[in-house]
Amino acid sequence: MERPGIQRWWRVAGGLFGLLIPGWMSAADGWVRHRLIEGSTFLEDCPICDRVSIPSPLRGSFDLRLEETNPLFTRHALRNIDWTTHDAGGGEVRIRGEGELEVGGEVAITQRLRLDVEVSLGGTNIARHFAQELGPVVRPWPNLAADVDAEERTLTQSFRIGLRSAPFRELWFVTANGFTPGIVRGTERGYRPAGDVLSLDGRVVRVNEELTERLGIMPAVPPLALGAFEVMPGGIPMFSLRETVFSETLGGLTPGHVLTGEGRIVGTVEALLKEFGSRPGSVPVPGVDALQVLEDGEVLFSTDADVTTEEGVLGHGDVLGSGGRVLHRFKELMSAFEPVAGQDLAGVGLDALHVWPHGEVWFSVNGGFESGKVGGIGPGDVLSNGGWIVYRNLELLGRFMPLEDLADFGLVGLFAVGDGPGSGRAVEMKVMRDGDVLRLGWSGEARVFQVESATALEGPYRVRSEVMLEREWTVPMTGEAGWYRVVGW
């Protein structure tokens, strides 16, 4: 990769700061962030003990990079492995290290995973080498799925890791029901109403009132429940509502309006359905139940009721495109889960949506059902149309530690920050001095942003901020010298 140019540099108290021009890949040197999802486990077993050993959920992340490719296979390196779980006594287990993945084959696609890690368990650090026998690829790329055993084992101790991962950095969501966090961070209020935008990492991305404050609703109303949520290019939140309200500036707003955090109407369900030849008045005007804006500008959506068109009925839960195409029928999305026969699925529609560039669909439903493949599924679980659970609803909220005794808080919005070669690029920055800090500001068509820094221009770069919608960040002018860049997705 060609060394990037420098927009400008200058000396400040405590360090040398540089700004990089647009065009440099965020995943430095091709590294892609993977996060562990549902199905990732750690098992500590005692072969000679008279006990039942139960795998514990394993979560965390690692970076993956393509190292070699030839006609027969590809070889990938793993680094920054940082996984955690708990042992039978509740103590933390931490796994850190690196590894290698080979994928390929002359006749059938197979894979082999090797890990060299340190397992911190019960106050002891144990070095272990894990290896997977050459076996079939069970989940389509870029998802990873592998089960590996530690080669070193004794009569009283053996380890197994079940790895299930997907390439993404952040997952934001909106719940259908409010909750009271058991942990309150910073100055955040206690109760979180339905309609706040939350992060899998346990932070509030946007308070509901911040989303709706520019809609001109007078007098000020309580938090408004959302029907769908998405982020537009430029870092602009986009959403629909679950109720009808009146705006002093926009008029009557219904669940069929698509709104932005800037206080604008950017679309209606009638406009989205126009290319399908929908019949006005044949049914009550439906609401928008899921939203996603693709890179080419097409809007993917679902409605909260069936719609009659010239070509037939569009079902509640079908994934539709604003250009008049049906991407997926809801029945197709559900088929891999093998719903148990005899259930009434008439009210089980789509409630949240994210379609990945490789074609996989992550979604949630607005009514629970029984799967013949994975058992009971709740309305707030994040599902893959590949037939596996990405996250259970209570795990999405796990870092908030809700005090309410609910099995499921529902899900009405889903936004994923995917990672991969070319998915993130450095954006141009402007700098303003404000006392003893520098204010980094930026613009551009990326949807979300993150600040990174390094002690040398060539890197490696480390994360300095959360993934955010904001377009400003402050850097103290004291401390070590460093190079800063802002990455946009």
* Burial per residue of 245-276, b for 16 or more beta-carbon CB atoms within 10 angstroms, e otherwise: eebeebeebbbbbbbbbebeeebbbeebbeeb
DSSP 327-348: EE-HHHHHHTT-BPTT---TT-
Instruction: For 284-293, give one letter per residue: b (16+ CB within 10 A) or e.
Output: ebbbbbbbbb
> Would you state the pLDDT for residue 455?
82
The pLDDT of residue 20: 42
pLDDT in tens, 195-234: 999 999 999 999 999 999 999 998 777 889 999 999 999 8
For residue 89, what pLDDT is reported? 79
Q: Which residues of the chain have pLDDT under 70?
A: 1-29, 184-189, 279-283, 420-424, 478-481
Cα separation, 339 vs 331, whole angstroms: 10
Scanning the structure block, which residue is given the tokens 């560039």?
357
Query: What three-state secondary structure class fits 209?
Result: helix
Indicate the burial class of 372 (C-beta count within 10 angstroms; 0-12, 13-18, 19 or more). exposed
Q: 380 and 409 in contact (C-beta within 8 Å)?
A: yes
Both structure tokens of 461: 């770069």
Residue 290 and residue 239: Cα distance in Å, rounded? 9
pLDDT of residue 481: 66
What string of DSSP letters covers 137-149?
A: --S-TT-EEEEEE
pLDDT of 184 reads 67
First to last CA, the chain: 20
User: All domains of the chain, ordered by start, with CATH?
Assistant: 6-26+424-488 (2.60.40), 31-166 (2.40.160), 169-418 (2.110.10)
CA distances from 87 to 57, 94, 136 (A): 10, 10, 30
Which tokens is 372 given?
């013949």
Q: In what order do the strands lie in the sheet with 361-365?
A: 350-355, 361-365, 382-384, 388-391
Dist. CA 226–CA 242, nearest whole Å: 5
Q: What secondary structure does DSSP assign to 246-287, as a single string? A: EETTTEEE-TTEEEETTS-EEEEHHHHHGGGTB-TTSSPPPP
User: Exposed/middle/buried for 127, CB within 10 Å: 0-12, 13-18, 19+?
Assistant: exposed
- Give the DSSP letter of residue 376: E
**Do 166 and 143 touch, CB atoms closer than 8 A?**
yes
Q: In angstroms, what CA-CA distances link 163 with 78, 447, 471, 482?
A: 13, 30, 36, 36
b/e sequence 138-174, b meaning 16+ C-beta within 10 Å: ebeebbbbbbbbbeeeeeebbbbbbbbbbbbbbbbbb
Q: Residue 288's pLDDT is what?
A: 95
pLDDT score, position 424? 67
Q: Cα dist. 456→15, 45, 460, 462, 486 in Å?
A: 12, 45, 8, 11, 15
Residue 193: strand, helix, or coil = coil
